[in-house]
A and B are shown apart, each in its own frame.
Chain A
Amino acid sequence: MPTRDDIHTVLVIGSGPIIIGQAAEFDYAGTQACRALREEGKRVVLVNSNPATIMTDEGVADVTYIEPLTVDVLRRVIARERPDGLLATLGGQTGLNLAVALAEAGVLDEFSVKLLGTPLDTIKKAEDRELFKQLLLDLGVGAPPSQTVTTIEDALAFADVIGLPVVIRPAFTLGGTGGGVARTRADLARIAESGLAASPIGQVLVEQYLKGWKEIEYEVIRDANDTCITVCNMENFDPLGVHTGDSIVVAPSQTLSDREYQMLRTASIRIIRALGVEGGCNIQFALDPHSFQFYVIEVNPRVSRSSALASKATGYPIARVAAKIAIGLRLDEIPSAVTGKTVAAFEPALDYVVVKIPRWPFDKFPLADRNLGTQMKATGEVMAIDRTFESALQKAMRSLEIRADALQPIPLDGEAEVAEGREFQPNDVRLWRLLDTLRCDTADGMLEALHAETGIDLWFLAKLRAIVKMEQRLAAHLLTPQLLRTAKRMGFSDAQIAAFTPEMEEASAVRAQRRVWGILPTYKMVDTCAAEFAAQTPYFYSTYEQENEAEPLAGAKAVVLGSGPIRIGQGIEFDYCSVRAAQELRAAGVRSVMVNSNPETVSTDFDMSDRLYFEPLDEESVLNILDNEAGLGAPSSSLPFPPFSSSSVSSVSSVSSVLNSASTSALSASSVVQSSPLPPVVTQFGGQTAIGLAAPLAAAGAPILGTSVDSIDLAEDRRRFDELMERLRIPRPRGAAVRTVADAVRVAADIGYPVVVRPSYVLGGRAMEIIRTETALERYVTRVVAQFGEHPILIDSYLSGREVEVDAICDGDDVLIPGIMEHIERAGVHSGDSFAVYPTRSLARDEIAAVARHTRAIARALGVRGLMNAQFVLTEPSATPGANVYILEVNPRASRTVPFLSKVTGVPMVPLATQIMLGKTLVDLGYAGYPDGLWPAQPLVAVKGPVFSMSKIVGGEMALGPEMKSTGEVMGVDRTYPAALRKALIAAGISVPARDGAAFVSIADRDKDEALPILRALGAAGYTFYATPGTCRMLAAEGLRAQEVGRISEGDTTIPGLIRAHRVQLVLNTITGGRGPIRAGIEIQDGFQIRRAAVESNIPCLTSLDTARAVVESLRDDGGYDVLPLGAYRQRPQ
């Protein structure tokens, strides 16, 4: 059957900026959907506000709009493009809610746009708590005792009926925003309030809390012909009560008998049929661990984070299939790309175990509440695959990149301690605590006790105990081939084994011994069918078995290292870069081998590269892959097997013959070291994760493509970099690298306060602070030395001024600068948290020339081959042109701004960098010869806006500073700055009334002069003010109406009350610093509580006067803006 012939053009809505609960999985889903639709000959129009995505790259959809995701914008897109259909189930909760809004606003009817896939009625039935409950009742499928309420009083009244604890689930929200488990009436009142505020329809469900019940999920797909399949089921390690996005999740289920498995599968299919979903659907169950009783707790009638995980866990592309179903295909008409024999009407069979562990941002927020509940807090996740649970779990732990394998001490980053007696409450370190506890006592009694305390199934606890017992065996016994093999099968890293083996000091010794004993990883294919059909999927995981299925790829190839889990500071931008690099390698005739551990991303879609290894991004795993691709790995199928497998050492002759064949197939680019048998590695695109592996990989003999390891070190090493800047005569803030408190105090005294301090070799301004006093410096250094250990701390003079950021491409000689961005916030706010404008607004011609000149000089001096990012601060203009341009930081790798700049300038930055790594020059590529190396400025203005997820991180400080806190970004692009700025603000969720609003204002004394013009402008726009006493006096002196409110620290709770009651629409609060009780080294001040109240009430809260000034500017003009495809902005208007 063909696809629907009434559908020619399809509008796809993306999910907008990355926030907690809505991350890269929707770039993956959306990208797959665009490709799937275009394969069927449909014209695809895409709208998304997130420039860091792959889906918004030109060429993915037919027409791409990077515009705010609002009803107004979408209406204008629809009027312009006249799509026949709208696909809304692939853009997360954002896409779904927008589709509902468009339908309700009559836009879909007005332009005869059909909602494709799951019908509107179904979306409402699944999302509206009351309708859904009724549907379950009609089906005879249980739901826990619950009631939907719209007031706190009703919530309390219902809890009186069913008893505490209860769960609050807000309607139509994402990632459980505003929900939680209430154990007391006070809890309930608080959570119900936030839940009602979070729900767009002001409705929450109050539900009995099923303590200790298992949480099981099913991914179900249905087509219009009523064929239903389940792709996968998943079991949460953490029992009910922890959001599935914050749970350790295992696929398939481990503790369900076939009866239970099928009972829930059947219920899933009945539900998807009753709902009438056409496409993918996620269903979450609570299962009594002591009976067949089960309840449905959640249904998502769309692709989700879980469906991305299920796709990666099984090899079954849910989003792709859902998109095809939406345009009328049936499951049995969609061929499987994996086997070529099966069709999409097929349920994957796994012959491995998959473990997902979330990555939380508590390292960034020492004050935040680390306890986990029904509201998601993780920014990202990792997944690992193996044939044993122990190994899948341990590989996943290593993939987290928090320097904590199973063995390491509890990775409590920051200083927050978990309260006494709550050690085993769900939190980010519970897994490590459980292991630690088992190390002291492995008896069955301890397992039972932990089970009673946590509700975690005994099966999982027994597996943790098996890991501990292996540690004990390693410690007690001499390492034998058999013991080593068994440990490797259980996922012990060479480093872990070395830690237990007295005769082996280092991981490298274990590695060498493994080679001697022939204990090498094999790679097995993820083939959806447990080997029943011969599959061609180039998707592999490592395991210690007999047969190796991944024979080295023939011909020229290169390994691209991905960026691991999404975390603050290392987000989807790096996945964009990795994917574009892999694609460009293919285009250049070089086969691309991707390595990554993140199940949400496009890069781990197996057809984005020639081969995918789903593996931790650590030295051991990557070296094993390089060995395998060099033909130095485990032999492939060599049946019959030797009867005893313990030590089958590969013969010398076979190894050398492979060596020869590998070197002949090595990449024939001039920049590649020819003598190495290992394939070349691309480390520039995977953020700090990948660049951090460059040195150890190079030391092990791997050729690093592009910029050399020495250049990377040169940029990171404080002393060497200072010398280089000296030689190039490029000014930089005075400073030094120190390792002790005494050194730090001496250096700071010399250069003068304030100073900027940070540990070296970190990303995202990790632990970076501006310090104004010696006491604060001492405290800082003591803490950071304890936390980060070996790396020195960098201290620099803090220069206040305009900050600009440059990305450049260099071939070792020529340099191309696609664009310069100017930050709206002055230096001191992390670049990732700043609004940034392209092209620059305030830079004089000589300043631009100086930035370009310095960038080119540095790129050449470092010998950059590929991408480089540089950040400058510009102080007040000086007599000598350009002398006020200071270099702050250089990163010889792809930066966060590469996708943004690529899109606004039209320069294919990653492809160019990739070609350069392969030996091409900018001249060859036709990108040389621009004056100053500067790509011509485009006839547009683009503003990059940061997006925060602060409402999810309870107790986290949201004030801007040198440490990055945003989780995602949006772009506003238009012809003029005010229009672009307005769009960026709208897309970032900062909307304040243009006139007659009310603002709460609290300005630190040192900022008062600067704040005055901003407040005057607000006053002129009819704003009224609430203010703290000092600020109030200032306002009164200006003749602005202000009402004084007292300090929280003095017992006055007027301010948070006003905020929570939405009596103000804007909070402006600059940081005072200093006062208040000290917890975890950070002061809890009035300001902190005010900011939290604003965040939790979803009211814009600005902590930088620069941002505030921009917001006020955006209120000034008529408010008009264009809605055009991205490419149209780059063409000069007629």
Chain B
Amino acid sequence: METERNERIGVLALEDGTIFSGRPFGAVEALADGRRGEVVFATGMTGYQEICTDPSYRGQMVVLTYPLIGNYGVASDDVESRRPWLSALLVREYCDDYSNWRAAESLDDYLARNGIPGLCDFDTRALTRHLRDHGTLRGVIRAYPASAAPDIPALVAEARAVRSVSELDVVAEVSTDAVEPWLAPWTAGSPLPISEAAGEGAPRVLLIDTGFKRNIARCLAQRGLEVIVAPHDADLALVRRLRPDGVLLANGPGDPESVAGLIELTRALVWRERMPLMGICLGHQILGLAAGARTSRLPFGHHGGNHPVREVRTGRVSVTSQNHNFQVDAASIPRDSGLYVSHINLSDGSVEGLAHEELPVFSVQYHPEAAPGPEDNRELFDRFAALIARERSALLAG
């Protein structure tokens, strides 16, 4: 793919007036009307397909810092949700010549088919450095004929009008609206074959769909748990009706404060129902908010697969996969909530995990399901399964 050949040029304007120009790819036609979103960067060197299909990126354009993207094509097994969600994919070089035994199509074709535009052939490291220094910025991308002179001031004005994820109801956009059992195992070639569907009497986990990644469901199912997916606006009545043995609050896009109903539900489940509960990412922030803590926005978030996290009680460090813009403020966690900070980020000291002194509840800011990223934290799912089992046996005994 060569710069000269394209008839169109794509221009990215940021709200602070910074301009980048490159070559559009993917759903190029979507850029005629402009694509808007917050611009964030992700540092993982593999996993573009998982990133594209991670619902947490709804409302955001993602610049991948690794410069060669598309190398291994797109495989049907590696989608983390039913479609790609991000507003646009920004890369240094899109490689159309892909090669991998599982690849079914090129990334270009996949994005085009799903209405997601991309921009390539520009200095993505300069953009990344700019975002690092100035924080997440809103932006707009438009495509123009190569001969046209874009109206830059208008474009910058348009970028300034882009709504941030806090102003959008992004969770509703990505969530299912039905209760459904998780039945989608991997297809052929899985290195981690999913166990037989949970048997009769298997513990049941309610996975609240705020935009969960499929690998969360897979990790639960692999541990012999029956997984039921419920919409983000599930209420206590629904949960009671479904009679889960545990609830998993998943990852998802946007500002945790905007999912008020779920915060309420969580408060009820944890502190009234003594429901075993595990939170991941957005779910972790929701747990914090439910306990009365505050959340705030990080300058440019954590998006990558190399973040070291220390478990406070053991001192053990593990490498984690992360994708979030908000954090739970440690100082704001009410003492009487019973929650304590279980994990912290080694690079910036931010809260990476919460746990309750007594209740069967814990959460992590990072992604133990990985996909993409390191698989070093899968034992958190074991811990959740163990909590559920303990509570069940306590209940039976009691």
A interface, CB within 8 angstroms of B: 225-229, 252-259, 261-263, 265-266, 269, 289-292, 330-332, 341-343, 345-353, 387-389, 457-459, 462-463, 465-466, 482-483, 485-486, 524, 529-534, 545-547, 549, 637, 639-645
Contacts and interface: CB of A to CB of B under 8 A. Distances in A.
Contact of A263 (B2, B49, B191): B191
Interface centre among A387, A457, A465 (most CB of B within 10 A): A387
A545 B372 CA distance: 28
A262 B372 contact: yes
A257 B190 CA distance: 13
Contacts of B130: 639
A466 B376 CA distance: 38
A643 B65 contact: no
Contacts of B274: none
B268 interface: no
Contact of A351 (B3, B20, B66, B317): B66
Which 9 pairs between the two chains have the least Cβ-Cβ distance? A462-B97, A258-B47, A547-B126, A530-B65, A459-B99, A347-B306, A258-B372, A546-B123, A349-B43
B135 interface: no
Contact of A347 (B101, B133, B305): B305
Contacts of A254: 68, 71
B78 interface: yes
Given A261-B46, A353-B67, A387-B93, A292 B99 contact: no
Interface centre among B41, B72, B128, B317 (most CB of A within 10 A): B317
Contact of B316 (A226, A256, A259, A350): A226
B187 interface: no
Contact of B346 (A345, A457, A639): A345
B17 A640 contact: yes
B45 A645 contact: no
Interface centre among A254, A262, A289, A529 (most CB of B within 10 A): A262
Contacts of B123: 545-547, 641
Interface centre among B19, B41, B46 (most CB of A within 10 A): B46
A257 B72 contact: yes
A643 B152 contact: yes
Contacts of B191: 259, 263, 292
Contacts of A524: 125
A348 B308 CA distance: 11
Contacts of A259: 77-78, 191
Nearest to B103: A257
Interface centre among A256, A457, A530 (most CB of B within 10 A): A530
Interface of B: 2-4, 9, 11, 17-21, 41, 43-47, 49-50, 65-68, 71-72, 75, 77-78, 92-93, 95, 97-102, 122-126, 128-130, 132-133, 150, 152, 189-191, 304-306, 308, 310, 315-319, 346-348, 370-376
Contacts of B19: 640-643
Contacts of B319: 229, 345-347
B306 A349 contact: yes
Nearest to B309: A345
A483 B4 contact: yes
Contact of B44 (A228, A258, A533): A258
B304 A349 contact: yes
A524 B98 CA distance: 27
A534 B132 contact: yes
Given A252-B46, A258-B372, A531-B65, 9 more contacts: A227-B316, A227-B317, A257-B72, A259-B77, A459-B97, A463-B97, A486-B4, A547-B123, A641-B21
A351 B47 contact: no
A345 B128 contact: no
15 contacts: A255-B99, A258-B49, A262-B374, A269-B376, A292-B190, A345-B346, A349-B65, A387-B92, A458-B99, A486-B3, A530-B65, A530-B128, A532-B65, A547-B126, A549-B129
Contacts of B67: 351-353, 387-388
A388 B347 contact: no
A349 B44 contact: yes
Contact of B98 (A256, A289, A459): A459
Contacts of A532: 41, 43, 65, 128, 132, 304
B377 to A, nearest CB: 11
Contacts of A546: 122-123, 126
B231 to A, nearest CB: 28
Contacts of A225: 315-317
B304 A342 contact: no
B87 to A, nearest CB: 20
Nearest to A292: B191
Contact of B100 (A257, A341, A645): A257
Contacts of B17: 640
B26 to A, nearest CB: 19
Contacts of B3: 482, 485-486
A255 B66 contact: no
A346 B78 CA distance: 26
Contacts of A348: 306
B49 A257 contact: yes
A254 to B, nearest CB: 5
Given A227-B316, A256-B46, A639-B126, A486 B189 contact: no
Nearest to A444: B97
B45 A255 contact: no
Given A227-B318, A345-B308, A486-B3, A353 B68 contact: yes
A229 B306 CA distance: 9
Contacts of A351: 43, 65-67, 92, 124-125, 128
A454 B251 CA distance: 44
B240 to A, nearest CB: 38
A531 B132 contact: yes
A350 B130 CA distance: 17
Contacts of B18: 639-641
A262 to B, nearest CB: 5
Nearest to B22: A645
Contacts of A549: 129
Contacts of A643: 11, 19, 21, 150, 152
Contacts of A485: 3
Nearest to B314: A225
A637 B130 CA distance: 10
Nearest to A390: B93
Contacts of B375: 262, 265-266
B128 A531 contact: yes
Contacts of A227: 316-318
Given A347-B306, A459-B99, A641 B2 contact: no
A346 B307 CA distance: 7
A253 B2 CA distance: 23
Nearest to A529: B43
A258 B93 contact: no
A156 to B, nearest CB: 35
A347 to B, nearest CB: 4
Given A530-B66, A546-B122, A643-B11, A346 B21 contact: no
A482 B4 CA distance: 7
A707 B191 CA distance: 63
A346 B101 contact: no
Contacts of A289: 101
Contact of B72 (A229, A256, A265, A342): A256
Contacts of A291: 101, 189
A75 B278 CA distance: 58
A644 B373 CA distance: 35
A334 to B, nearest CB: 11
Given A459-B71, A637-B126, A258 B306 contact: no
B66 A257 contact: no
B347 A257 contact: no
Interface centre among B99, B189, B190, B348 (most CB of A within 10 A): B99
Contacts of B2: 486
Contacts of A342: 308, 346-347
Contacts of A255: 71-72, 99-100
B100 to A, nearest CB: 6
A332 B312 CA distance: 12
